[in-house]
Amino acid sequence: MKLVLQGPSLEPTLIASLISGINVTNYHQPRQNVWHINGVPEDQYDIIASFANENKADFALINTSQKLSDYKLVAMDMDSTFIQIECIDEIADYCGVKEQVAAITAASMRGELDFNESLLQRVALLEGLEESALQAVYDERLKLSTGAEEMLQALQKANIKTLLVSGGFTFFTDRLKQKYHLDFTRANELEIVDGKLTGRIIGEIVNAEVKARTLIDCCNKSGISLTETIAIGDGANDLKMMALAGLSVAHHAKPKVKQHAKVAFDYSGMDGVLNLF
């Protein structure tokens, strides 16, 4: 197995001190602030974890034979994963209920609430809001997460397909798909009548089961096996999709998600996925 360490403060002197302490010699630096260390004894993992925590770095154990080219599709959650915001919380700010909606969102992401019920409850609070507020959120508040664009460029260069699957809204996934040339998207559709939100969702809610099914459907359409996929998420709604993927990545995620993921990033950007290989 290969130990991957990455973080903004990982200077060569720090790594030299770590290497000396765990008594390994096979290591190299493939990119700035990224280190690959081979042959770390299992009884040294606690030392590695402590070192990473002290230096605000992420670490992961990856099979030494794995390559980025082994994967054919990367599936990503949208809110607080591919982008920095929770869109529904920002929309709620335009009708004065952001604090209330954000509290429900956070509880849902931790897996404390039924996702369908929590989404319907939050969307109902948006009833009567002008559709123009959605465009304002997109134009003024939506930003990609650190490293997301770099990751996308590398994936597209390697002919790896991309899926953005979200418990959020098609208003945003549709625009992101067009702008960043994503292959597949799936999200919830807000009902809008006479230019105003009705407080309802059209069609099937994109919950954990639907996210997992969407990943399967995209693989079937593309002739890709689930073992050839990477799934990246941050909330409980992503767990079933992540469980199906060949490699699961928790991105600045809730504790429950980090517990079940193969790899967890607390400090790295989304391009940290590229550094694993």
Domain containing residue 109: CATH number = 3.40.50.1000
Same domain, 196 and 210: yes
End-to-end CA distance of the chain: give it in Å, rounded.
12
Determine the average pLDDT of the residues in 235-256: 96
pLDDT at residue 109, as a whole number: 87
Residues 123, 167 share a domain = yes
For residues 229 and 61, the model is more confident at 229
Q: Is the dihedral of CA 172, 174, 179, 185 positive or negative?
A: positive
Res 25: pLDDT = 83
DSSP codes of every residue in 37-48: EE---GGGHHHH
Residues 195 and 267 in one domain: yes
Does residue 276 surpass a pLDDT of 90? yes
Q: How confident is the model at residue 63 (pLDDT cuts 50, 70, 90)?
A: confident
Domains held by the chain: number: 2
216 and 203 share one domain: yes
Q: Please indicate, yes or no, whether residues 58 and 74 belong to a single structural domain of this protein.
A: no
pLDDT exceeds 90 at position 243: yes
pLDDT for the residue numbered 233: 98
Question: Does 45 have pLDDT greater than 90?
Answer: no
Annotated active-site residue in 77, 89, 234, 271: 77
Q: Which of 58, 79, 238, 271 is catalytic?
A: 79
* Lowest mean per-residue pLDDT among 46-50, 67-71, 229-233: 46-50
Please indicate, yes or no, whether residues 41 and 77 belong to a single structural domain of this protein.
no
Residue 263: closest CA among 108, 10, 71, 30 = 71
CA distances (Å), 216 to each of 170, 205, 226, in order?
A: 20, 17, 7
User: Looking at the structure, do residues 18 and 36 belong to the same domain, yes or no?
Assistant: yes
| 85 and 210 co-located in one domain | yes
77 tagged catalytic: yes
**pLDDT for residue 65:** 87
The alpha carbon of residue 84 and the mean position of all alpha carbons in its chain are separated, in whole angstroms, by 10
CB 22 within 8 A of CB 44: yes
231-245 average pLDDT score: 97
Q: 135 and 190, same structural domain?
A: yes
Cα 35 from Cα 110, distance rounded (Å): 31
Query: Is it the case that residue 39 has pLDDT exceeding 90?
Result: no
Q: What is the pLDDT of residue 11?
A: 86
Q: What is the C-alpha to C-alpha distance for residues 57 and 49, in angstroms, rounded to an integer? A: 9
Summary mean pLDDT of the chain: 95
User: Is pLDDT at 103 greater than 90 in this prediction?
Assistant: yes
Residue 131: is its pLDDT beyond 90?
yes
Residue 24 has pLDDT above 90, yes or no: no
- Residues with Cβ within 8 Å of 270's Cβ and at least 6 positions away in sequence, in order, are 76, 81, 82, 145, 146, 147, 148, 150, 151, 232, 251
Contact 274, 151 (CB under 8 A): yes
| Cβ–Cβ < 8 Å for 215, 209 | no
Q: What is the DSSP letter of 70?
A: G
Q: What is the percent of the chain with per-residue pLDDT over 70, rounded to a whole number?
A: 100
Q: What integer pLDDT is reported at residue 256 of this predicted model? A: 93
For residues 129 and 60, state if they share a domain. Answer: no
Distance CA 207, CA 112 (A): 14
The residues near 81 (Cβ < 8 Å, ≥ 6 apart) are: 145, 232, 233, 234, 238, 251, 252, 270
Count how many Cα atoms sit within 13 Å of the Cα of residue 171 in the half-sphere of its side chain.
22
Instruction: Judge if 51 and 182 occupy the same domain.
Output: no
Q: Return the residue matching tokens 């699961």.
A: 248
Q: Mark which of 39, 65, 91 sits at the end of a domain.
A: 65
Domain boundary among the residues 30, 48, 65 is at: 65
Residues 162 and 271 in one domain: yes
Q: What CATH number did the domain enclosing 33 receive?
A: 3.30.70
Indicate the residue among 65, 86, 106 that finishes a domain: 65
Tell me the residue range of the domain where 22 lies.
2-65
Residue in 48, 1, 7, 50 with CA at minimum distance from that of residue 275: 7
